[in-house]
Amino acid sequence: MPVKQKKVAVAPRRADDMARTRDQPPLGSLQAKILKQLAKLGKDAYAYRVLGQLMREKQGYIDPAQVYTSMRSMSERKLIEALPEPRYDSRGPPQKIYKVTAAGREALRLTKAYHKALFDYL
C-alpha cells in the first residue's frame, strides 16, 4: 500500500538507519473528513457549510480556522479546486464552491486503506 514515508526522528549513525521510516496516511483525520463532506455536499460544497456539517457530526465546536486552513492547504496540493464562478447569495459575500479532484479522491482512498490496514493489524 503506497503511503507517505517519514524519516524516523533519530540522528543516523549508520547508513541503514536512514532507511528506517514510519508509515503515515496521506491525509490527516480533519482533512479526510473535509474531503468526505465536500464529496457528499456536491454543488453546495462551500467552506462554511462543511464547517457546519462537521460540527453537527461531532456535536461540538471546531475552530473555523482549522477548516479554512486545511482547505487552503488541500487547494494548494490540488486535492480540491474552487469552481471558477462563485455563488452569490443575497445574505452575504460570494461563496466559493469547491469540488474534489481526482488526486483528492485518490488521497482519500489511500487514507481509508491505510486506516483499514492498521485496524486489521491491531
For the stretch 24-47, pLDDT in tens is 788 888 999 999 999 998 888 888
Q: What are phi and psi of 19, to 5 degrees?
A: -75, -20
pTM of the model: 0.74
Is the pLDDT assigned to residue 94 strictly greater than 90? Answer: no
Measure Cα distances from 81 to 12, 32, 61 in Å: 40, 15, 26
CATH number of the 28-121 domain: 1.10.10.10
Strands 98-100, 80-82: pairing is: antiparallel
One-letter amino acid identity for 19?
Answer: A
pLDDT tens for 59-79 read 989 999 999 999 999 999 999
**84: Cα separation from own chain's centroid:** 21
